[in-house]
Structure 1
């Protein structure tokens, strides 16, 4: 329903939304310098891995799942076309499914948090001082062209992603990995700027590609940021078979895929082919599903689930609807206000805009009471701030008392409620008072500042949301109009929308932050001052706060679970009191519709997205062999 803010394409490298953190680290050189290290098949950021060294497969897969068939899917996100295969550069839109082509040194499991298991690597050594990690590459690992995966390729991948030719978010995300050292052809050591328990996992999650990608027959190289439809040379389970018009792409399972028997891959990648068809809008996508053009649809809109995902194909059982429970930490979703605009730099103004959103009315009238209000950046996790700050949080907050709003040291703010005894009128009266304090008063038919300028702003969206957002925006516009504020809702095609977001050329927009199982380095990219002025970064709101920066440093440097908890809750508390985002809503279930004859493992993963889970772990039963 909303655009994921994160530009870091680890999703393409790790087969899942929840796999931002991955694994490993060690150091042969550290051994040579008398730095003790420990070797392992897996690593957990805190505690111990769930699965033993001799595990055969993850619990949430079916090791006996039949292989075969062609899975056809529609737009996995709001993107409606593609103009390149390279998912690691800023300009353009990469084809969906590119994650099928790239493996990482290790991969996360979907039933535990912040734990990863060897994939390209068969041995992980983490230096005792925490400042390096060494991976030994599985000698059987191969790229799609048949070449062995070498330490030089791993180094090339990291150096390329941190270079100016890759999307700037990568340089920020991997900033604390200072360098990769080739110890021998099968051994790579990553050295870190500081001790950080997440860094071995980040190193393990680097998507690996061959140094030959982009090399022409004459030996010259196409610059990385100019790679478009040159097929990537990765080590993943699928190959690009065909594509057409920037709207359709088909992947074929690599018959020579080297890792099929690995415990982390048993029971996965069951389809012979996977095809994505991109539709111009949500209505066309839904009608195509009813017509049998593709096999499964993840429904993100409650109204559609109740009112539009119906009809003869559902009545006769050809299409099936099912809600799957999910335990993901739900990332923030909401209207992001661009603080680079003077209009939004006063927190009282931002809070007033929050008060004007009537979630309870929307949930009753438009959402069929299927949603809950978001009240944290880490909803449904132990990292969510509650009540008043405890001693651990105060230790991080107290040094910034002069900068922070005194309210930060009190209860966590509650989102406005219009259900009795509350009311929208009471919320708008409070908003009007806050706006008056900030210098905005109603005169001459509009809310105006001391210069006489009208309070007017634009909500930017891409055209894929044309069927969803107008009634929601109309309600919000009506509420703001009662305050004298004019909100203009503007839609544009995805390519233009993406370009404007990358350049921060918007007043406000609709954003879904990535789900968070364990907060980490990605928070620097989303909320750190250094990323606020980097084009294409995930700091969409332009947040620049020394206090937040200090809390972020504590978060990424946390050495114990208690320290991470304190820092995460302190961060959540400051962000919520800052009203940088007008929070929206979330669901505790995934709504999935699929064609009869599709099957999935008996044990469900805990932390997952159906857009990744379906192509990675589902399969066709015999009755699905012939499509209607």
Structure 2
């Protein structure tokens, strides 16, 4: 009897061991690395010395002067809250001049994060958690070490008191655990949110010992304590802000930073409008400008300084998804709640005439929220897209499945009678009719009147022809110009009918799509769901996009989302270019290799010999 018991006990032990071994074999593999890619592996292997588009031998020194166009200036040095207008250069997500984040993104990969404050990153195959091991050298500017407690405090502070963006962006973080002084772990809610392991690393880390003694929700101009490559040197309220390079910056020798942050000082000067700013550039009052006006680009940058190569005008191609700029409807307004009305108004915008007569034919019409990328919807839905779209078929316009979206086109000669006829038919279907030369709702008797809210004089000349075309439909569009501060406050509180808005995109869309389009953000003031979209199909497609397990799945989900956004006519698409148009005084050096995703000004440096030529009285005339 005793022998039987012993044998049974031994068998039980063997079975338990086998079960444990089987259970261990089923656990997801845990990675421990210097960097993490959204899909695939990082381009730069362990031990890399610098990014290819940076020059590790770049000299340090000199002053870089930049311009900011804002009629209202700035009144805050806290970019993390809804209140106030924060100064340029501080940033609110990722590393900035002043603040460091756990990780940092490269500028020549779709989406890869490398260690910054975190020297090592651990995560399992299923990406259900991530652990960051902090660099023991990481310091705030007052010499205090950056600890796991600072990271935990920052997460709690931003998601409870910060801008609504943070609550949306980090919605699926279930728990934050301080393991020890230099180790912190984030656990995620069940589900497939593969991006979270990367985007929690983008969180700017704030010093607990500084902020716990201050009111986080108050605006002000007291320079805050940071940890980045620059600290605030001086502030001229609303007019300029200067940053000085931190000579003993703890992260200067990190591979991601070599060849970056080369200027001893960076200054942002504020100008009320483009006209004054361009004159200031030509007068040598600042150094570098990115031009977004085709007319300015074609007509204003010429003369002796350019002939003598004292000033340089360049268009540098990039691979950035251009996102969507457009005339944005506020669908919270009853006037714009009907998609037939939204579609109709698009027929009154004559892009071809505008491009020819106002833009020197410089632009391409935007036909996707993800244009200039493989993410853009094209042709009819693929079989893979249909797998995502078919379950929602009874909630979607039939054209999602049967037509490729294209905005209305014209001959560009100003004759848009045919387009206006299509617009009127749509408006009649939606219950509108002409009474006393005004478009009037047949049931309510209300006339069709709305306001286009602007803050840039440059757009006034663009919308006035649109206004005239709308008048031919019996529609009154009032154009209201306000200063920057009023504009920002009105947009944040959704107090507008229509604006010129933009929805920038990256090559790896993810959790930020919630803030753009998700129903949960429609009534959160300050969110980027300016349109007021509350569409369960879009909510579901966003979840699918976020859960994409491969680059191919991400492309499929993004294209499906793109189609649904386009065929709901939430905006009247504007235009885009696929290059960066830059003008600068020829006093800088830059690496030979350009990054794939746009100008990386932080890799430029001051060239004293070039600057001396500009300062030579015999060559510096701007006549």
SS in 1 for 2:470: helix
Checking the alignment, whether the CA contact within 8 Å between 2:71 and 2:483 is kept in structure 1 is: no
The answer on 1:183 being equivalent to 2:179 is: yes
SS of the residue aligned with 2:342? helix
Counterpart contact for 2:194–2:548, Cα < 8 Å: yes
Counterparts of residues 215-230 of structure 1 (less than 5 Å)? 215=212, 221-230=213-222
What's the secondary structure of 1:350's corresponding residue? helix
- How far does residue 245 in structure 1 lie from its aligned partner after superposition? 2.3
Corresponding residue to 2:489 among 493, 496, 499: 499
Q: Partners of 1:510 and 1:529 in 2: how far apart?
A: 21
Distance 1:553 1:168 in 2: 19
Q: 2:63 aligns with which of 52, 67, 70?
A: 70
2:422 matches 1:430: yes
* Mapping 1:604-619, distance limit 5 Å: 604-608=594-598, 610=599, 613-614=600-601, 616-619=602-605
Match of 2:110 in 1: 113
- Show the counterpart of 1:601: 591
Matches within 5 A, 1:308-327: 308-327=300-319
Deviation at 1:390, TM superposition (A): 1.6
Match of 1:174 in 2: 170
Query: CA, structure 1 residues 368+420, in 2 after alignment: closer, same or farther (shift >3 Å)?
Result: closer
Cα drift, residue 605 of structure 1 = 0.5
Query: Which residue in the other structure is 1:445 paired with?
Result: 437
What whole-Å deviation, never above 9, does each CA across 1:259-305 have from its counterpart, x for those lacking one? 11111000000100000000011111111111110001110101011
Q: In structure 1, how many angstroms separate the alpha carbons of the residues matched to 2:503 and 2:323?
A: 5
Give how far 1:336 is off.
Answer: 0.6
* CA distance in 2: counterparts of 1:280 and 1:421, whole angstroms: 35
The answer as to whether partners of 2:400 and 2:564 remain within 8 angstroms in 1 is yes
**Residue in structure 1 matched with residue 15 of structure 2 by the alignment:** none
Kindly indicate whether the alpha-carbon contact (under 8 Å) linking 1:601 and 1:617 is maintained by their aligned counterparts in 2. Answer: yes
Give the match for residue 608 of structure 2: 622
Tell me, what secondary structure is at the counterpart of 2:136? coil
Give unmatched runs, 5+ long, in structure 2. Answer: 1-23, 91-95, 616-623
**Matches of 1:285 and 1:396 in 2, distance apart?**
48
CA distance in 2, matches of 1:106, 1:369: 41
Match of 2:475 among 474, 485, 495: 485
The structure with the larger Rg is 2
In structure 2, the residue matched to 1:20 is none
What secondary structure is seen at the aligned counterpart in 1 of 2:553? Answer: helix
| Structure 2 partner of 1:552 | 542
Pick the aligned partner of 2:140 from 134, 140, 143: 143
- Are the aligned partners of 2:221 and 2:235 in contact in 1 as well (CA < 8 Å)? no
TM-score, normalized by length of structure 2? Answer: 0.91
Q: 1:200 aligns with which of 197, 200, 203?
A: 197
User: 1:393 matched to which residue of 2?
Assistant: 385
What pairs up with 1:574-589 in 2 under 5 angstroms? Answer: 574-589=564-579
Separation in 2, partners of 1:214, 1:238: 19
Report deviation, 1:204: 0.9
Q: What is the CA–CA distance in structure 2 between the aligned matches of 1:145 and 1:35, rounded to whole Å?
A: 41
Pick the aligned partner of 2:262 from 257, 270, 276: 270
What is the distance in 2 between the residues matched to 1:212 and 1:514?
Answer: 35
Deviations 1:182-218 (A, max 9, x none): 0010001011113321011111111111112335xxx
Q: Distance in 2 between matches of 1:36 and 1:617?
A: 37
**Cα distance in 1, alignment partners of residues 170 and 610 from structure 2:** 44
How many residues matched? 583
1-side partners of 2:27 and 2:79: how far apart?
Answer: 40
Residue 523 (1) aligns with residue 505 (2): no
* Correspondences of 1:112-131 after superposition (within 5 Å): 112-131=109-128
Could you tell me how far 1:509 is from its partner in structure 2?
A: 0.4
Farther off after superposition, 530-539 or 435-444: 435-444
What TM-score do the two structures reach when normalised by structure 1? 0.90
Alignment partner, residue 17 of structure 1: none
Q: For each residue in 1:301-356, what CA deviation from the matched residue of structure 2 results, as whole angstroms up to 9, or x when unmatched?
A: 01011112334433443221111111101110011100000000111110111111
User: Matched residue of 1:401: which SS?
Assistant: helix
| Alpha-carbon displacement from aligned partner over 1:107-164 (angstroms, at most 9, x marks no partner) | 111111111111111110012332100010011111111111100011111111101x
Root-mean-square deviation (Å): 1.7
CA contact (8 A) 1:80 1:281 kept: no
Hey, what does 1:382 align to over in structure 2? 374
Shift of 1:229: 2.2
Cα deviation, residue 103, structure 1: 1.1
CA distance in 1, matches of 2:264, 2:611: 12
How far the C-alpha of 1:560 sits from its partner, in A, is 2.1
| Match among 443, 450, 458 for residue 457 of structure 1 | 450
SS of aligned partner of 1:116 = strand
Q: How does 1:11-410 map to 2 (within 5 A)?
A: 36-75=29-68, 78=70, 80-98=72-90, 99-163=96-160, 165-193=161-189, 194-215=191-212, 221-410=213-402
Query: Quick one: distance in 2 between partners of 1:456 and 1:276?
Result: 40
CA distance in 1, matches of 2:596, 2:588: 20
Paired residue secondary structure (2:326): strand
Contact 2:178/2:184, CA 8 A, preserved across alignment: yes
SS of the residue 1:460 aligns to:
strand
3-state SS of paired residue (1:239): strand
**Residue range with higher mean Cα deviation, 252-261 or 445-454:** 445-454
Describe the superposition over 1:523-579 as per-residue Cα deviations: whole angstroms up to 9, x where unpaired: 011000000000000000000001111111111111122321221111000000011
Q: Which moved more, 1:412-421 or 1:84-93?
A: 412-421
Could you tell me how far 1:423 is from its partner in structure 2?
A: 5.8
Aligned-partner Cα distance in 2 for 1:430–1:341: 23
**Could you report, residue by residue, the CA deviation over 1:449-478 in whole angstroms, capped at 9, with x for unpaired residues?**
11221111111111xx11x11221111111
